[in-house]
Amino acid sequence: MHRITRLENGLVVITGEMPHRASVSMGLWVGVGGRHESAALCGVSHFIEHLLFKGTRKRSARRISQEVEGIGGDLNAYTSEENTCYFSKGCHDRFDILLDVMMDMVLHSRFDPLEIEKERMVIKEELAMYLDQPQQQVLEILNEITWPDHPLGRSITGTEATVAALQRADLLTYLHTHYVAGNTLVTVTGRCRHEEVVRAVKSYAKHFAPGSAQSFLPAPNEQKAPRLRLFTKPTEQTQFALGVRACSRHDERRYALRLLNTILGENMSSRLFQVIREDRGLAYSIGSSLGFFEDTGTLTIAAGLDDKNLQPTLKLVMKECRKLTERAPTKSEVKRGCDYLIGQMELSLESTTNQMMWIGEQWLGYGRILSADTVKQRIAAVTPAQIRKVACDFLRPENLCLALVSPIKSSRGLISILND
C-alpha cells in the first residue's frame, strides 16, 4: 500500500511499506531531464547528476561513496528525457544515513571548479565510449531523425561541444531553477513507516527553494514519408534501429501497444525472434521495445547482423509488422503475451528498488499511482482486435525511421523496403 504526503512547500513524500523485507530503497526524484534543455545547454541535466557525487560542504566525493558502501548499501543515479533520479538501498536500520547523504548531495553540493573540469573529462570519455558501441550509437541516430531539431532528438549526455561549453554559472542556474520543492519527490519502499519517513524528510525539506515544474517543448508529430540515415564506419556488423512514433503514456492505447510489442519482439517467444533468429539464423539477437513520454512515445526494433543479411531481415521485419495490421493475433497468442507481462511485473515488484522506481515513475508521469492490480487488469482486458487497431494506427510506412551504423556505403533500396 502506498501512502502520500505533500509537505507545505510542495515537496512530495511517498512510501510503500514492505515490512517483511530487510532493506529499504530510497529515491530522490527531480522532474527535469534532457527534453527541458535548450540546444546550447544540451547535457546539462546529466552533467549536474554527475557533479552531485563530487563533494558537498561536509563530505568529499570519497566520503559520499564510503558512507553508503560502508553500511553495505549502494548509491546511483540516472538522467532520462523527463526526470532525474538519485537512488540508494541499504538495511532498513540505516535509512537515516542514506537520507542524510542524498539530501546533502542535492542541497549542498559545492560544484568545485576543479571537480567540474575533471567531470567534464569523464563525460567526454563517456561520449567516446558510446561512439565505440554501435548498438548505442544507432539508437542516438534514430532519435535524431525521429525528432529533428527537438530536445527529444538530442543526446541526454550532450555533445563534446556542449559539454565543453557549459560553465559553472550555467550549471548552478539550471540547478536552482529545477531542483525546487514543487519539482521534487522522495520515494521510500521496504521496511519503513510512513510517519517516520515524513518526519525525517521534513527536517531537510525546508532547505529546498520554492518553485514548481517547468514546461518543455511539445513533441512534433508531422511526418509524411519514411526517414533514413546511414552512418558508415568500419564495424564487424551492421546495426539497425527501426523506429516509429507512438502514443503517449496517457493514451488508453498504451495497454494494447504493450501487448503488440510483446508479441512482435520483446522476448524470445516473439514473432521477430522466432522468424529472424530461430527460423533463418539471420541475427544473433533482435528485439523491440517501447518508450512513453508525456505527449508521445516510440516503438523501436533493433538488431545487429551481417551486412548481407540487412535487406532480407528488413523485409521480414516489415512483413511481420504488416501481418499485425492485416490480421489480429490469436486469442492464445494474446493470452501468452498477457501472462508474460503480468508475470514480469509481479517478479519485478518483489524488489524494494523496483517498487521505489514504480512509485516515482507513476507519480511524476501521472500525478497519481496506478496500482499494479489496476495495470494488470487493463492489460488482461486487451482484445486481439485492439492490438490490430494500434498496429494500423502506428505501423504505417510513412511513420517509419531507420538508422544504420554499418560498413556499407550505400542505403540504396532500403527506403523501398520500408514503403513496401
Residues classed as catalytic: 49
Distance CA 157, CA 160 (A): 9
Tell me the longest C-alpha to C-alpha distance in the chain.
64
Choose among 329, 301, 300: nearest CA to 389.
Answer: 329
Place of cell 556488423: 237
Bridge partners, residue 187, by sequence: 14, 27
Q: In which element (H, E) is residue 308 found?
A: none
E-state strands within 259-307: 286-292, 297-305
Q: What is the per-residue burial (b if ≥16 Cβ within 10 Å, else e) of 216-231?
A: beebeeebeebbbebe
Q: Measuring CA to CA, how many Å separate 23 from each of 87, 118, 314, 386?
A: 13, 34, 46, 41
SS3 361: helix
Phi-psi region of 239 (alpha: psi -120 to 50; beta: other; left: phi over 0): beta
Choose among 339, 343, 349: nearest CA to 370.
Answer: 349
User: Which is it for strands 227-232 and 400-406: parallel, antiparallel or unpaired?
Assistant: parallel
Instruction: Give me the sign of the Cα torsion angle 303, 306, 307, 310.
Output: negative
Distance CA 203, CA 206 (A): 7
404 phi/psi in degrees, rounded to 5:
-135, 135
Q: Measuring CA to CA, how many Å separate 60 from each of 52, 56, 63, 73, 193?
A: 11, 6, 5, 18, 31
Distance CA 373, CA 161 (A): 46
Choose among 78, 80, 81: nearest CA to 35.
Answer: 81
